[in-house]
A and B are shown apart, each in its own frame.
Chain A
């Protein structure tokens, strides 16, 4: 775009980097998948650490006693 003095009825897309939509979609999908890999990996590590630290029967029983239903 080099001017806004246009008839919008005759104007198509106005976003920058037109023509690179496919690349942007590929980048976005790749980041979206990567995010899920990182998220699941991080969550798995966190839960494994929780179980290692507090997963004994005594700890769980104590937690149930501390927070009665």
Chain B
């Protein structure tokens, strides 16, 4: 149901864009996954739809505002939708026990939001940022600017074109 919700909402907001429609299905599952063991199927359907709806607009807002490219939408699908899923679970499952043992707080929005920050920012963003800085410092993060502009597959395509010309020339020589 969360897959359906994600697919349907993504189709509408992206005006039928295939990339976002399928990504939306995945984002729907990811948004509902934080509480999918407890949600009613229709709740999962609605939450899946809400997740991709926010993640889609957040993706373009971040891209335009911070000029950060998310070419395959992975940060939107896994990051934004995942973060939202934990926050939404805090509201929908508010008051549910978080553990079968005594002494643990019940699920609540603040706890889940703090949990989401720890999960996505502290354990996700920070280590990736540190590793990226190290790679950048070693000159391993980006390809040379010229190669970036011409495209990583330029050589392959150029060689293919050259081979096609050679075959064409050989065939013409036989005529």
Contacts and interface: CB of A to CB of B under 8 A. Distances in A.
Interface in A7-46: 13-17, 21, 24-25, 27-28, 31-32, 35, 38-39, 42-43, 46
B155 to A, nearest CB: 28
Contacts of A42: 12, 15-16
B39 A24 contact: no
A42 B99 CA distance: 47
Contacts, number: 54
A42 B12 CA distance: 9
A16 B43 contact: yes
A38 B12 CA distance: 7
Interface stretch (B22-30, B90-98, B112-120, B138-146): B90-98
A15 B97 contact: no
A15 B39 contact: yes
A3 interface: yes
Contacts of B103: none
Interface in B25-81: 38-40, 42-43, 45-46, 49
Given A16-B92, A35-B12, A4 B43 contact: no
A27 B11 CA distance: 19
Interface of A: 1-5, 13-17, 21, 24-25, 27-28, 31-32, 35, 38-39, 42-43, 46
A2 B97 contact: yes
B96 A46 contact: no
Identify the interface centre among B40, B43, B99: most chain A CB within 10 Å of its CB. Answer: B40
Given A2-B106, A15-B38, 16 more contacts: A4-B97, A5-B100, A13-B40, A15-B43, A16-B40, A16-B92, A17-B40, A24-B46, A28-B42, A28-B45, A31-B46, A38-B12, A42-B12, A42-B16, A43-B16, A46-B16
